[in-house]
Chain A
Amino acid sequence: MLAVLCFAGGLLSASLVRLAPGYGVDERELDPRLSQASMEAIRNAHRVNSNLLSYYGRYLARAIRGDLGSSEWLQQPISSLFKERFPVTAKSVASGVLLAWGIALAISLANVLFPGFFVEISGTLVSGLFIVLPAAVVAIFSVYLHAPVFLAIAVVTFPKLFRYLRNLLGHAYSQPYVLAAQARGIGQARILFHHVLPLVSPALFALLGVSLSLAFGAAIPIEALCDSPGVGQLAWQAALNRDLPLIVNLTLLITLITVAANSLANVANERAL
């Protein structure tokens, strides 16, 4: 899957950059100080990339060496921009996802273990309140409240996680063998770790990958509006400045990271089983 994604994503990225309006237009051609020979050299450099397939071939060869080209807007190598910005986003996303999972698991378990009107309605209300807010509005509120970026990411990720987790755990706890274990007086912790979690673990691992993808998506508006110097803010600035090589390569790299995380989760799940 990762190999197919690399190939297809690379081709799509190269095609987007190559076919975008304005590709090959160089501002230096407007400089009257340049000689005719310099102009011709600039045009020749662009002519080399006129064929999409040859352009893709060169793009792929450079990407294998870790060279993703340069940002047209910042005039810096994309790989160094990514290395500089990614740790900020990775930290926010990891903390946000961890917090969202913690809260979603706690409320879902409370819903299943202590069923009652108050517990059920509070979980539904909290998740319902957050799910109807666009990520950008959550970001603005976090700026008002001086809340950290990871908290905003957790707020966006939590309601979607909670809905799945509550259903998954509810389904697992209604299985006959779990009811039988409860009837025999086995402790709740033992039931959870020995009977419920093994049943829901494949879905939980899949959900982990999805939550990462959700969190990276939420990072764009949150980092952009909270002025956090991460990949999300860089992607937004690249889109506003029509820096296609940068935005397309960032998308490809983030996608590869989420797919790799999904694959790792699958491998971990298979080993656990």
Chain B
Amino acid sequence: MRTRRRLRAVCVAVLCVIFVVGLFAGTVSPYSYSKQFRERPNAAPSSSHLLGTDSLGRDLFARLIYGTRVSLLLAPAAALLATLIAGLLGGFAGFMGGWCEKLILSAADLSMALPLLFVLLALRAVLPLDIPPILSVIATFILLGLLGWPSSLRVVWAATKNLKNSDFLLLARATGCTRWRMIARHVLPNLRPILLAQFWISIPVFVLTEATLSMLGLGVTEPLPSWGNLLRGLEDISGVSANPWRLSPLILLVLVVICFQLILPAQEETA
């Protein structure tokens, strides 16, 4: 138990460091993510380019840090959106019951039956492919947030349903507590750990989905970097075997997802 707690502390520390570096990418990185060194394409790591350069002569370290900012700031934003939708709808369904509950649960079941990537592709295809990079980032993560709520909703709904039938809420109702006061003072504080757990669970899922979408050319568009479009460098096998440092985005992504996976049980336990 103690080892596990230490491991979680290490994971939190690693995530904090990566998050802070991503947040202050402009200060940490010596160059802009789009600055080209045309005389040095595919350069090996050196003191001026810590991870070398890509085929267009852009500094890989700078792109990795800026990509971290995009992926690690927007995945939590999408997770927050998904958790908010799940919290509102799941809480409402669990608390109100009746036809509202049936309608919301049916919508969630229906959404869960949809293959997520197919729906993402269909919705992304509605938008033009040549939208500005910033808009592509926002569109990608809003789509993830809007489609990622159904599984969390089921959990929130079940927890709310349990709370609704609990003794302390019965007592609150018997003492004349109004519905809104019950929601604000009793239901929401008890749902907080569950919502928090769902939020943490969603982040690595969205990071991985963004990576897959961007690798397929349907996520964050160039020249803005994200872990997904940096991973497109792996498609060139000869390039990777000659320049193994091109694996750095994959290593960073795997490290972050592992850290999230390892700190997740702590959240589940609190839930």
A is bound by B: yes
| Chain B residues in 8 Å Cβ range of A8 | 110
Q: Is the CB of A238 within 8 A of B212?
A: no
CB of A5 within 8 A of chain B? yes
- Using C-beta atoms within 8 Å of the partner chain, give the interface range for chain A: 35 or more
Q: Is the CB of A136 within 8 A of B122?
A: no
Given contacts A8-B110, A128-B258, contact A224 B118 (CB under 8 A): no
| Chain B residues in 8 Å Cβ range of A16 | 122-123, 126
Given contacts A137-B211, A217-B115, A240-B129, contact A251 B121 (CB under 8 A): yes
Chain A positions 1 through 41: 1 when the CB is less than 8 Å from some CB of chain B, otherwise 0: 10011001000000010011100000000000000000000
Complex alpha-carbon distance, A216 and B120, angstroms: 13
| Chain B residues in 8 Å Cβ range of A248 | 122
Closest beta carbon of chain B to A38's beta carbon, Å = 29
Stretch in contact with the other chain, from A60-68, A107-115, A180-188, A252-260 = A252-260
Instruction: Name the CB-closest residue of A to B118.
Output: A251
Chain A positions 210 through 227: 1 when the CB is less than 8 Å from some CB of chain B, otherwise 0: 000110111011001100
Given contacts A136-B211, A144-B237, contact A224 B121 (CB under 8 A): no
Docked complex: B197-241 residues within 8 A CB-CB of A:
204, 208-209, 211-212, 215-218, 228, 231, 234-235, 237
CB of B125 within 8 A of chain A? yes
Instruction: Name the CB-closest residue of B to A141.
Output: B234
Q: Is the CB of B234 within 8 A of A239?
A: no
Complex alpha-carbon distance, A143 and B235, angstroms: 9
The count of residues in chain B whose C-beta lies closer than 8 Å to any C-beta of chain A is 39
With beta carbons under 8 angstroms apart, the residue of B106, B122, B128, B253 that contacts A247 is: B122
| Chain A residues in 8 Å Cβ range of B218 | 236, 239-240
Complex alpha-carbon distance, A122 and B110, angstroms: 36
Docked complex: A32-78 residues within 8 A CB-CB of B:
none
CB of B124 within 8 A of chain A? yes
| Chain B residues in 8 Å Cβ range of A243 | 125
Q: Is the CB of B122 within 8 A of A216?
A: no
Chain A, interface SS category: helix
Chain B, interface SS category: helix
Instruction: Name the CB-closest residue of A to B215.
Output: A136
Complex alpha-carbon distance, A133 and B255, angstroms: 10
Q: Is the CB of A255 within 8 A of B211?
A: no
Chain A positions 187 through 213: 1 when the CB is less than 8 Å from some CB of chain B, otherwise 0: 000000000000000000000010001
Complex alpha-carbon distance, A199 and B216, angstroms: 41
CB of A88 within 8 A of chain B? no
CB of B155 within 8 A of chain A? no
Q: Is the CB of B257 within 8 A of A132?
A: yes
CB of B250 within 8 A of chain A? yes
CB of B119 within 8 A of chain A? yes
CB of A134 within 8 A of chain B? yes
| Chain B residues in 8 Å Cβ range of A137 | 211, 215, 231, 234, 250
With beta carbons under 8 angstroms apart, the residue of A128, A236, A242, A255 that contacts B115 is: A255
With beta carbons under 8 angstroms apart, the residue of B114, B126, B235, B261 that contacts A20 is: B126
Closest beta carbon of chain A to B182's beta carbon, Å = 33
| Chain A residues in 8 Å Cβ range of B209 | 134
CB of B17 within 8 A of chain A? no
| Chain B residues in 8 Å Cβ range of A239 | 121-122, 124-125, 216, 218
Given contacts A1-B109, A134-B212, A240-B217, contact A220 B118 (CB under 8 A): yes
CB of B116 within 8 A of chain A? yes
CB of B14 within 8 A of chain A? no
Given contacts A4-B106, A238-B125, contact A251 B119 (CB under 8 A): yes
| Chain A residues in 8 Å Cβ range of B234 | 137, 140
CB of B254 within 8 A of chain A? yes
CB of A81 within 8 A of chain B? no
Complex alpha-carbon distance, A128 and B261, angstroms: 8
CB of B174 within 8 A of chain A? no
| Chain A residues in 8 Å Cβ range of B113 | 5, 209, 213, 255, 258-259, 262
CB of B170 within 8 A of chain A? no
Query: What are 15 A-B interface contacts by the 8 Å CB criterion?
Result: A4-B110, A8-B110, A128-B258, A134-B253, A137-B215, A140-B235, A143-B237, A213-B112, A220-B117, A220-B121, A221-B212, A225-B215, A239-B125, A247-B121, A247-B122
Chain B residues with CB under 8 Å of chain A are: 106, 109-110, 112-119, 121-126, 128-129, 204, 208-209, 211-212, 215-218, 228, 231, 234-235, 237, 250, 253-254, 257-258, 261
